Amino acid sequence: MTTTEAAGAPDTTVARFRLILLWPVRVMKPGGEGGGDGALAACLAEGEGPWRHVDDEFTGDPADFQERHYSEFVTFLPTAQRFLYGHGRGGRIPSAYGESPMATLRRDDVAAARVTMRHGEAPVLLSVAHVDLHFFYDIDVALLAVEVFADDLPLATAQDLMFRFGRAYPAFWTPSGRPGHCPAEVEWLSPAGAVLAASDYGDKRAYLDFACLHRAPGLAAHWRFLLEPMALDLAGARGEIRYRQLEYYRMPLMAFLAFRDPAALTEDDRRRLAWASAPATAGRADHGYDADATPHAFGPRQEQEIHGDLAGAWHAIGGNAVVLAGDAGDAAFMDAERGFLARFRHQYFLVFLIAHFHRASLLMFADELADAVSRLRVGDPAALMTFRQKSRASLERFLRFTHRYWIDEVTNHAETRAVFDVSRRQLQVDRLYQDVRQELHDMSQYLEGEAQRRQNTSMVRLTVVTTFGLTGALSTGFLGMNLFALDAASPALKLGLFALVFLPALALTLLTVATSARLSAFLDVLSDESLRLIEKARACFGRR
């Protein structure tokens, strides 16, 4: 391990810094219709926008299949391999249930991010490794993954990036109008250095107006740009594909930090990295929040599970943050093919993706069920029919989600399994799964009860019609005993007699059906042996 000289100050420089942000959103077509069959991903990939489908390593030229791809694949158990790679994963966009369950789209027009942490400070230039959108068959969820990296950053800058960069919108503004917990400015740059989009965190009035008009928070301009041509699902919004926010405005993240001198990190530094909190500031109470924040009584932080030096690297695993730190002088730690860097970008990322995909899918189901129940009107037959259709569709998709995607054991590799297990536990996906399952069970019970009630009502009406039709049946049966010799009658007379009997009988039957509810109540009274004859007669005429 590299150490600083005795006479020198501790060196906490981050020689290699990587940050992966993962942002789940619900995707849909205008009108709230889903597109989990792969149609939305295909629409994006085949359109005129910047997205293109990423060819899978398993279906391209075998010469391009690297050892890191093999190591990634064999890390997972067979059930997880089928989850991630499908059965002979090879379709460009999933079009059938048996093909690859996941489609990945990528845009290459964003090459760098220029981030100004605070007004007056010099910006930090981050290279963009990739901007991906992950879609899953049958599930109306997309996960935006943005990976950035830089070298030779001060520890405080790396902490600030982890704390501020992945903010979908400001949480508040200071009295001076500066956005809280956000960078002062973020700019996406093209490969030629041109500004493609810039943040608008400081436009307080726009965010307030948006929340007032749409009852939803507005998203920062540079994050909206990354998701184009998709548009926020709002009334009057343009766009063939819409999306809604599912999670908290602070995006889940993964951070890789290689230090020149890991021994220089204090316990406070490790805690701040584990919590992805802001750097310490002199003269400020240590709450781990932005120095510009107005003083509030913050509650206790969600506890992070810190795994100390596992296999020579320091891990901090939480539901919304996975941090991997180590020695920049350790070749095994820095190896992008076989070392921890390769594991971080591949195995760790995939299990982090699965955990957040599970949570996002369950939140999507919960949102979908809440929307269906909110539109239910018990007295409206059309609303009941729509509710039944949506409920059955959700139940069918949840069943397929359970049997295809719901896995709680993905690998036997200790560190990768720890990332997955701790992330799932802190994201509370098991509790959320049980909640959604119970909601679907309740809706299914309601639909079954409603179907039984309709069936019982139909049976009552049929019984009433049969009872009151008994007299007519006896009469027509008596007439059918050939009391009248009509064999020699003309066809016109026979047809006239048939109409003379059929039309009154039809009218009587329709009248009986129309009044079947009252007739059923009358029959109940008539069959009640505890009532006297006079009381039954009064009930017949609608009096008590």
Kindly tell me if the per-residue pLDDT of 511 is higher than 80: no
In angstroms, the CA 533 to CA 22 distance is 77
Instruction: Give residue 97's pLDDT.
Output: 47
In angstroms, the CA 465 to CA 514 distance is 10
In tens, the pLDDT along 405-435 reads 998 898 988 888 888 998 999 999 999 999 9
Instruction: Give residue 290's pLDDT.
Output: 38
* 32 vs 418, higher pLDDT: 418
**Displacement of CA 303 from its chain's centroid (Å):** 24
Kindly tell me if the per-residue pLDDT of 173 is higher than 80: yes
- Angle of helix 414-427 relative to helix 349-374, nearest 10 degrees? 20
Highest mean pLDDT: which range of 3-17, 145-159, 287-301, 528-542: 145-159
Listed range (73-82, 323-332, 398-407, 499-508) with the worst mean pLDDT: 499-508
Span 238-251, mean pLDDT?
A: 86
Whose tokens are 């009658």? That residue is: 489
Strand partners of residue 27: 243
Query: Exposed, middle or buried, 381 (CB in 10 Å: 0-12/13-18/19+)?
Result: exposed
In angstroms, the CA 522 to CA 462 distance is 15
Q: How many beta carbons lie within 10 A of that of residue 47, not counting itself? A: 12
For residue 52, give the 3-state DSSP assignment: strand
Confidence of residue 196 (pLDDT cuts 50, 70, 90): very high
For residue 50, give the 3-state DSSP assignment: coil
Listed range (14-23, 162-171, 529-538) with the worst mean pLDDT: 529-538
For residue 197, give the 3-state DSSP assignment: strand
Token duo for residue 134: 């992950």
In tens, the pLDDT along 347-382 reads 999 999 999 999 999 999 998 888 888 777 776 777
Kindly tell me if the per-residue pLDDT of 519 is higher than 70: no
In angstroms, the CA 32 to CA 201 distance is 29
Instruction: Give residue 20's pLDDT.
Output: 98
Span 388-400, mean pLDDT?
A: 85
Instruction: Give residue 160's pLDDT.
Output: 95
Listed range (67-71, 151-155, 223-227, 338-342) with the worst mean pLDDT: 67-71
Query: Exposed, middle or buried, 276 (CB in 10 Å: 0-12/13-18/19+)?
Result: buried
Confidence of residue 6 (pLDDT cuts 50, 70, 90): very low
Is residue 254 within 8 A of residue 276, CB to CB? The reply is no
Confidence of residue 297 (pLDDT cuts 50, 70, 90): very low
Q: How many helices (H) and strands (E) does the chain have?
A: 16, 14
In our burial notation (b when 16+ CB lie closer than 10 A, e otherwise), range 324-360 reads: bbbbbbbeebbeeeebbbbbbbbbbbbbbbbbbbbbb
Mean pLDDT of the chain: 80
Confidence of residue 477 (pLDDT cuts 50, 70, 90): low
Kindly tell me if the per-residue pLDDT of 285 is higher than 70: no
**Displacement of CA 135 from its chain's centroid (Å):** 11
Instruction: Give residue 368's pLDDT.
Output: 86
* 246 vs 300, higher pLDDT: 246
Report DSSP state, residue 456.
H
Instruction: Give residue 481's pLDDT.
Output: 56
Kindly tell me if the per-residue pLDDT of 479 is higher than 70: no
Span 286-312, mean pLDDT?
A: 42
Instruction: Give residue 322's pLDDT.
Output: 93
In angstroms, the CA 412 to CA 519 distance is 69
